[in-house]
Amino acid sequence: MDISLADFDPAIVAQYAITEQDLQRVARYVQLLQGEDAPTLADMAVGGYYGTSALLHEVVELRVLLEREPELLNWQGHAVRQFFHANPDAHANALVVEHRYLQVCIKDVFGQRLSLEALVTANAGQRDFELLLASDIRVPVFEPSLTEVQRAELLLERLRSLGEVMK
């Protein structure tokens, strides 16, 4: 993996105390979950705001899972996937953290506000939106309109195409 912490939003790296070791653990984790050609690694490789959001999600999720099972990264892929599915709260919490960050980025860069629900649906899909809806996380969750989801998709694509973080 040819990704370094310099590729990501330095404010988030500092706020979450993300280290190179975290980056390596995340790479191992997503490859166990998604295979060697993990799509999340491609998202992270974009760097900038969009890559930072993908890294942030995985760091938050993995920290919770490693707290519950310190040997997780030594397991086989199928066992890691089972553990992931048995702990949906870790993923739901990571969805909220990731998409709140994306909300701020889109507001700061494009001057537009999007709901958390529209961003989750546009970026992570309906299944993750439904997971968030069913979770115990204390955030108000409402079904976004198709128009709002489409606007979120467009703005996420624009954010992804920016690449590096604007200073």
In this structure, are 110 and 126 located in the same domain? yes
> For the chain, what is the domain count?
2
Nearest to 141 by CA among 164, 117, 158: 117
The pLDDT value recorded for residue 93 is 94
In this structure, are 1 and 47 located in the same domain? yes
pLDDT by residue, tens only, the chain of 167 residues: 588 999 999 999 999 999 999 999 999 999 999 999 999 999 999 999 999 999 999 999 999 999 999 999 999 999 999 999 999 999 999 999 999 999 999 999 999 999 999 999 999 888 888 887 788 776 766 888 999 999 999 999 999 998 766 55
Residue 151 located in a structural domain: yes
In this structure, are 66 and 140 located in the same domain? no
Residue 167 located in a structural domain: no
DSSP string computed for 70-94: TTGGGS-HHHHHHHHHH-HHHHHHH
Measured distance CA(155)–CA(167) in Å, rounded: 19
In this structure, are 74 and 138 located in the same domain? no
The pLDDT value recorded for residue 78 is 97
The pLDDT value recorded for residue 137 is 79
Nearest to 111 by CA among 158, 43, 149: 158
The pLDDT value recorded for residue 125 is 86
In this structure, are 107 and 43 located in the same domain? no
In this structure, are 79 and 104 located in the same domain? no
In this structure, are 81 and 12 located in the same domain? yes
Residue 147 located in a structural domain: yes
In this structure, are 63 and 99 located in the same domain? no
Residue 30 located in a structural domain: yes
Question: Residue 145: which domain range?
Answer: 92-162
In this structure, are 44 and 123 located in the same domain? no
- CB within 8 Å of 50: residues ≥ 6 apart: 43, 156, 159, 160, 162
Residue 149 located in a structural domain: yes
Measured distance CA(116)–CA(96) in Å, rounded: 8
Residue 8 phi, psi (nearest 5): -115, 165
In this structure, are 5 and 82 located in the same domain? yes
